[in-house]
Structure 1
Amino acid sequence: MAREANPGQVVGGKYRLTSSLGSGGFGRVWKARDEHLQVDVAIKELWLPPAQTAAEHTERVVRAAREARNAAKLRDHPNIVTVYEVVTEDDRPWIVMQLVDGCSLEQYLDQHGPLPADRAVRLARALLAALSAAHRTGIVHRDVKPANVMITSDWSVLLTDFGIARHEQDTVMTATGLFIGSPEYAAPERIRGQDGLPASDLFSLGVTLFQAIEGLSPFRRDSFMGSLTAVLLDEPPHLKRAGRPLDRLISELLHKDPADRPVLTEALAILDSPMVDRERQVDNSQQQAAVHWHNEASTVRAGRHRVDVAAARPSRVPLDVLADQQEAARRKSRRRKTVQVLVGGLLLAAGLGVPVAVRMWH
């Protein structure tokens, strides 16, 4: 049995633990001193349950190596925490990484409350940039959430914890039916067993941004299964604090169907062009009706009668309002069909007594 780590312990022959920075379900992050280079680092201690099998131990070690490998591909990105190496101590893997002078987004929100809109947009832009870099190299994070977003003292934003990230060439290491992740931030398709999609990271980003701007997690419920069901079936609450373009971006990211979510370039375009949207293009006839009327009152003669065109013409409707009305109708139709299918599936699973295996990852 591995001994419990304590301040003062030296890991990997050179990293002296100084203080604990926080812990979760599978490990603890320490502040440590690299005694060779005389610099401070963060080091992630992975906890291996004493009752594990040899196969489980191997899987945990492989996952740690995979996290380091995946993160190392992204070490030069300004919005991703750098991983330096993996060392083994007491038959456990330890991940050595950049020490961030700051706190997690989760801690920041607990201490300061919801973000103002301008900072939320800054957060969105940084995380979109980080995910874009990861996806370009074939890496899907799979656990985007406030606890895995670091905010520095000068308000730089960094994405961290690629512990359950998957590269397109990685071998699937978990048992069939085993869900790893945080349920309230997981995309519906991940809960249904369709894993490894870049679009799933974007749904998780949408939940994270919603919580950042509104101060609450839209799909958090009193139980694990309640949160899973909310992600699958419930629409998020109405956004109250997010103005354009953030409200539009979050709404797009939270589509239940991954095919309806914007890709990364489209998401960035929404931030840059609040009046433009990939699915909300009004057809030419509507544009002409809404835009090309003259502001001045015009009149035409029809025989002996004068017609006041200004009084008779349709009211001028902004394009984004027309687009929102169309999108609301589409989402209502899609949700009705989706709920019918999902409820039937859940009832069937409950009737057959299908076991569900889940694992919380903090």
Structure 2
Amino acid sequence: MAGERVRERRRASGWSQGELAAASGVSRQSVAAIEAGKQVPSVTAALGLAAALGCAVEELFAPSGSEASCPVLAGTEAPLMGAPLVVARVGSTQVWAPLAEPDASGFCLADAVWTPEGPQLLDGASGDGFVVAGCEPALGMAAAAAPGRGAGRLVVVHASSGRSLAALDGGRVHAAVVHGPAGGLPPVPEGVARWELARWPVGLAYGGAMPVLGEVGSGRVPVAHRDPQAASEQAFHRALAAAGAQDRVVGPVASGHLASARMTAAGQVAAGVTTAAAASAAGLDFTAWEEHVVQLWVDRRFVEHPGMSTLLQVWCSPRVSSQLRRLGGYALAGAGQEVK
């Protein structure tokens, strides 16, 4: 590991951690955290350490065949200082992502916080778990019902179907939740196994009168919509085309289905692209465009991962399935079945 390489070179130079810190311009606490594998150095810190130890940065920090360090999602920007993060290991790769949508109190259990040197693990954080990315709002419910520690922990990263698939293809998550019309899902990559989770409609949530799609498409009515890689956003544009409407939509890009519904309920926009269940949870009316199949796509290397069985068991448990039915908008007849 990179931390071990730093420690070995420091000891070979006959330096203490404090002496290396003084020579490299990095704090002694950061040197200790880097050597322990609890902190990823910033570019400046990595350059300083390499210069002090008389070697190239790549010799210290370039990932070998058995290790790497990268964010869960491509394009993830550095969060604010002190921001809470989740950290886990996918195969030999350590990944991190900002915690999404904390509860109303603002408190959430994190594995690490963002520092000038990168993620710094908090005491007691192990980095175990099964990492799954997707825009299924109930993933958070499943994670709450799963064990809080160990390999069965569920680490949920909220992202669109397109971004989730990119993370799966890049080996940055164990699994991705993908949805789309029956027969209209993306091509299945080699080495991926699939399980059905649910079926639900995507459409437009609103309070009061339903906006006319022609006015939405012309930009006269602002709506909360999704990023271009989101399956629900693609359904939105198909609905506009089917109605013969323009495609000049205005409004904020929501981070997920729940965020879109909340923006609408708060009166920030006239309507939001979301799911029936998210609209119901926000007390909104809803008009569906398409019914989507929701599937769990798993890298076959991790099918036997303890977190995989945990996810399916929790998803199909009476505790979770009964709450999904109570929310409405969920068809669970095929939930938990592998798709051949």
Task: Indicate the TM-score class for this superposition, using the shorter chain for normalisation.
Answer: under 0.3
TM-score by length of 1: 0.25
Higher helix share: 1
Give 1 or 2: higher strand fraction: 2
